[in-house]
Structure 1
C-alpha cells in the first residue's frame, strides 16, 4: 500500500466515483437496487462463465506452439488470474496466472506473458471495434453527454495504441530472427553488460510466446475468438438490464462494454472502482436512462462481474495451496522437448 501506483489508482477511482455519482439522489439509487429483479443475474452469470471458458480455450490455443495444455486445465488458472486482477492493483493477476502456469506446466513466465499480452491487445482491438461499430450512434449522443462526448477522440488514440501494438507483435512473430537482432542491438547499446545476457534470454522466450501469430489463419482465429468472448460478456450486460426498469438495444450495450473496458485500462483502485462506473452511467444517461436507474444498474453489473469470478478464482487459488503474500519463484525453467 506504500507504492505510488496504489495511491495514484485510489485517487483516480475517487475522482471517477465523484463524477459518476454527483448530482444523483443516492437514496433513489439505493431504492432502484432494492427493487431490482435479481433472478436475471443467474443467466447473466452463466453466460459470463461461458465466456471465461472461451478465454481458457483461447489461451490454450495461443500456448499450443509452446506446450499443448487442455482447456480444462487452463480454466482454473484463468480464474485465478482474473481474481488477481480484481483484488490487486496494476493487473497483477496477469503475472499471477503466468506464475501458476509455470508451476503447473513448466512454461517460462516470459513466454506465457507474451501470450497474455497478445490476449490484451486483441481484447483492446475488439473493444475499439465495438465502439467504432457504433460511432454513428455515438455521434448522435455527443451533443450533451459530458464524458461520452470525448469518447471519439479517446477511441482514435486507443486505436493507434492497440493496433500499433498488434502490428508490432505480428511483425515480431513473422520475423523472429530479425526481431531478435534488432532487440539485441538495442540492448547492446543501452543495457549494462552484466544485465545483457539475462534480459536477452527472457526476450527470446517472450518471442517464442508470439509463435501462435506466425500465420494469418492463427491470428484470425484468435481475433474471432476474442469477438465471441466479448459478445458473451455483452450478453451478461443484457441479462442484468432486465432486472431494472429500462431498455436499450444490444448495440448500445456493446458500446457500453467497449467504453467501460477501455476506461478500465486507466490506473484505478483494485476492482476498477470508478473507472468502470462513471463511463457506464454516463453512457446510459446519454441514452435517456434516468441517472439513478443507470447508476443502480451499473453498480449491480459491476458487482456481478467482479464477485463470481473473484470467488471462484479464490477457491482455485486456495486449492492450489498458494499462500497470500508469499514471494513466488520467478526462475525460468526450460521446456522439455
Structure 2
C-alpha cells in the first residue's frame, strides 16, 4: 500500500461517499427541474448573447491564473513559473470533474512535489493552505453581501456552515502548530513513509507564511473570485438581466461555498440548485435562472474537463516514467 493510499479513503468508503454524492446530485436536479418549463429554459439558452458568453469563458480563465499564482506564492516554489502552476490547477480541476472525492487536489499536490523536487507532504500542505484562502475569501464575501441582499434561512445556514469551516481550518492550523512545536522530528528515518508524509504535511501547514506572502495570497484570492463575479455578470447580461456588484458578490459566495455539499464530480445538481436559489434571493426566478446555472457551469466545466483532462493524463504518464525518489510515495492510480 502506498503512502497516499494510507491517507485517502478506502475503496469501500470512497464508493459509499460517491453514492451519497450522486444521490445528492439527483435530488437537487429534481428540486430545480420539477416545475420547470424545459422549452422556456431552452428558449432562454438559445437567445443568450453569444459574444458575452464567449467573453465570460475567457474572463473565467483569470480565476485559474490567479489561483495558480497564489499557489506558487504559498508553496514558495518560485523556480516554477505561473504558467506551470496554472497547468497544474487545470489538471487538478479536470480530474475533480470526472473523479470522486476531489482526488484532483491530491494529484496536483503530487505533481507539484515531482516538478519542484520537494517532499510530497510539503506539497499537500500547500494545497491545504491554498484551499483555506478560498474559503476565507468567500466567507468574508458572504458576510459583506448577506446583510444587503437579505437573509433567508437557507443562506444563513450556508453562512453558518462557512463560518464553521473557517473555524475547522483555524483549529487544524492551530493543532498543526502545536504538534510541530511539541513533537520534534526525532527518529524521522525510523518512521514509515506514510508517517513521514503526514509529518511533512503538518510541518508545512504549521510553518510561518509571513505577512507579505499572506497578503499577496489573499489579494490573489480576491482577484480570482472577483473575476468569477465578473464572469457571472457577463452571463447574466447575456440572458437579459443585470445584477449589481454586491449581488454578484453574494451569488459568487453562495455558489462556491455551497459546493462543499456532497455531490457527483463536477457539482452537477448542487451547482444548479445553489445558482437558482441564490438568484431567487435577488429577485431572478424561473427558467432564466436555470439557464444561468447551466451556462455558468458549462463555461468552466467543459473547458477545464477537456484541457485539464489532457494535462492530468500527461502528468500521470510523465510521473509514471520518472525514476522513483527515495522516501517518496508512488503516484496514485485514479481508478
Output the TM-score relative to the length of structure 1. Answer: 0.83
Structure 2 residue runs of 5 or longer lacking an equivalent are 1-10, 330-335
Q: Is 1:157 matched up with 2:161?
A: yes
Residue 286 of structure 1 and its aligned partner are, at CA, apart by 2.6
Q: Which residue of 2 aligns with 1:73?
A: 84
1:134 counterpart = 2:137: no
CA distance in 2, matches of 1:330, 1:244: 53
**Cα shift readout 1:221-274 (whole Å, capped 9, x = no counterpart):** 222221111111111111111210211212212111111111111211111011
Cα deviation per residue 1:177-231 (whole Å; 9 max; x = unaligned)?
42545x99xxxxxxxxxx9644431233113433664323322322222111111
CA distance in 1 between counterparts of 2:243 and 2:314 reads: 41
What pairs with 1:158-177 in structure 2 (closer than 5 Å)? 158-166=162-170, 168-169=172-173, 172=176, 177=180
- Paired with 1:153 and 1:262, the residues of 2 have a C-alpha distance of 11
1:1-337 matched pairs, under 5 angstroms: 3-64=15-76, 68-139=79-150, 142=152, 149-166=153-170, 168-169=172-173, 172=176, 177-178=180-181, 180=183, 197-210=192-205, 213-320=208-315, 322=317, 332-333=327-328
What is the rounded CA distance, in whole Å, between the counterparts of 2:196 and 2:87 in structure 1?
29
Distance in 2 (CA, whole Å) between partners of 1:41 and 1:168 is 40
Query: Root-mean-square deviation (CA), in Å?
Result: 3.0
2:158–2:258 Cα contact (<8 Å) kept: no
Deviation string for 1:148-184 (max 9, x for gaps)?
x3211331232122144135426745x6742545x99
State TM-score, norm by structure 2.
Answer: 0.83
Query: For residues 109 and 178 of structure 1, do their structure 2 counterparts lie closer, same or farther at Cα, with a shift above 3 Å needed?
Result: same
Call closer, same or farther: CA 1:112–1:247 in 2, change over 3 Å. Answer: same
Contact kept? 2:174, 2:206, Cα under 8 Å? no
Tell me the matched-pair count. 312
C-alpha spacing 1:244/1:79, structure 2 compared with 1 (3 Å): same
Q: Does structure 2 conserve the Cα–Cα contact (< 8 Å) formed by 1:63 and 1:212?
A: no
Alignment gaps of 5+ in structure 1: 143-148, 185-194
CA distance in 2, matches of 1:330, 1:4: 34
